[in-house]
Amino acid sequence: MSTDQKLAGKTALITGASKGLGKAMALAFADHGADVIIASRKLDNCEAVAEECRALGRKALAISAHVGKWPDCDRLIEAAYAAF
């Protein structure tokens, strides 16, 4: 766990965050103090990453969204604003 909290009070929305580089970015943002919105097509995978972020003491929202589909993007934005 990082003691660097330069991102405290910030929120990061990360797409493709359920695995690979997206997951690494979500965890890094959380480790440095940011709350995170974890978005990907598979909700179960998003929730697993969100739990890891919460374990770092951050607020995390998991949401299923396919960013290639406008209705999913609209839903993602609305959920992000509502939660944060």
Can you list the positions of beta strands (E) in the chain? 11-15, 35-40, 60-64
The values of phi and psi at residue 13, to 5°, are -105, 120
Are 37 and 47 in contact by the 8 Å Cβ rule? The answer is no
Q: In what order do the strands lie in the sheet with 11-15?
A: 11-15, 35-40, 60-64
Averaged pLDDT, 24-33:
97
φ, ψ of residue 39 to 5 degrees: the values are: -125, 135
Question: CA–CA separation, 10 vs 75, rounded Å?
Answer: 21
- pLDDT band of residue 1 (cuts 50, 70, 90) is low
Mean pLDDT score across all residues of the chain: 95
Mean pLDDT, to the nearest integer, of 8-13? Answer: 96
